[in-house]
Amino acid sequence: MDENNISRPVRTSLLPYGKQWLDDNDIQAVLETLHSDFITQGPQIERFERKVADYAGVQYAVAFCNGTAALHAACYAAGIGEGDEVITTPNTFLASSNCVMYMGGKPVFADINPITYNIDPDRVAEQINERTKAIIPVDFSGQPAEMDRLEMLARDHGLTIIHDAAHSLGASYGGRKVGTFGDMTMFSFHPVKLVTTGEGGMIVTNRADLYEKLLLFRNHGMTRDPGKMEYNEGSWYYEMQALGYNYRMTELQAALGVSQMDKLDGFVASRRKIAKKYDRAFDNIPGLVTPRQHAEAESSWHLYVLRWEPQHFKVGRKEIFEALRELQIGVQVHYIPVYKQPYYRANGFAGVHCPNAEAYYETALSLPIFPKMTKEDIQDVIEAVNTVVQRYKI
């Protein structure tokens, strides 16, 4: 085979690694809201919050304009401040640790389990000290972290758990739905996530005290509740009681979210079917490592990560990435270890080293996986991977 030419028909357009699925019901929900009296701060927000809270099996939910804002609010509600340390994973998007720095705290990175790619509870335990205030476990790819062990650590050391479940709405661990673990759970509604509101995020919790703090932080630190105000001059009066932000979600986003939630279980089922097809196609190919699942975990498969063992191929991950892109397969890399970013290196993290996360990063490629994929799309991915394996295998 000519290694400068991939002998396979190229798709006419790039197949992305993730994509939203919007139907007529979603569009109608947004249109009806546009024709209503409220396009922000109206009834759809509470309706969406209630729908997510009921699905997750918790009492309270607070919607935000995006998942990063939701994590920021959770750190505020947890009381993270100057000198506090919060343990999280390096194998995540920037927001999972940035939210700690927004509050003046310090993220501490614990290495990942080399099998599940989630934060390793043993490494978390090694990082706990008198300055540790919280743990932010991240459910990488949709597979829940080992939440039973992390909850035990938090309980033993008096720590708050902010569960970053941006990838795992619809997943479960040990028979419990994601959303019921720890003190607060964050869901993301970006277009590539399990359901979408365009941009959007939410914190769910069973703690009334945290719920009240989240509401305050979302809306400028302001309240109109007479029972909470120091003074009341009349029905028009309000008080700013904390330094909050305008992190509100719009009615349009919430209306879309309500409609999308009706399809969540179907979306998750579709992702699981695609993952099984990939497993069958790639499990026995030398040099490829398919995702492994913890025995207690039921992933919602936000991502499907295929690892390419370098000893089996003539080229590195970069060339493999570019070859798959040439075949119009929109592979992606999730994630660069956060502490390797220039801002982090310049601000005290230059000496951080998580060997498992770094080894994972060097070999990982995320394949397209989303409910709207056709049988032909799935087969295109499988054939493209096989083509590239044949092209570069030793």
What tens digit of pLDDT does each residue of 75-109 get?
A: 999 999 999 999 999 999 999 999 999 999 999 99
Nearest to 77 by CA among 62, 92, 89: 62
pLDDT in tens, 18-51: 999 999 999 999 999 999 999 999 999 999 999 9
What CATH class does 264-392 carry? alpha beta
Q: Quick check: 11 pLDDT over 90?
A: no
Please report the pLDDT score of residue 114 as a whole number. 98
| Nearest-10 crossing angle of helices 317-326, 375-392 | 140
CATH fold match for the domains 24-261 and 264-392: no
The backbone region for 79, taken as left when phi is positive above 0, alpha when psi lies in -120 to 50, beta otherwise, is left
Distance CA 77, CA 217 (A): 8
Q: Are 187 and 169 in contact (CB under 8 A)?
A: yes
Question: What is the pLDDT, as a whole number, of residue 1?
Answer: 38
Structure token digits, residue 4: 């400068």
Domain ranges of the chain: 24-261, 264-392
Main-chain dihedrals φ then ψ at residue 17, nearest 5 degrees: -75, -20
Asked if the model's pLDDT at residue 274 lies above 50, the reply is yes
* Overall pTM surpassing 0.85 (yes/no): yes
Architecture of the domain made up of 24-261: 3-Layer(aba) Sandwich (3.40)
State the Cα–Cα distance between residues 182 and 205, nearest whole angstrom: 8
Q: Is the pLDDT of residue 2 over 80?
A: no
Q: Please tell me the predicted confidence (pLDDT) of residue 3.
A: 47
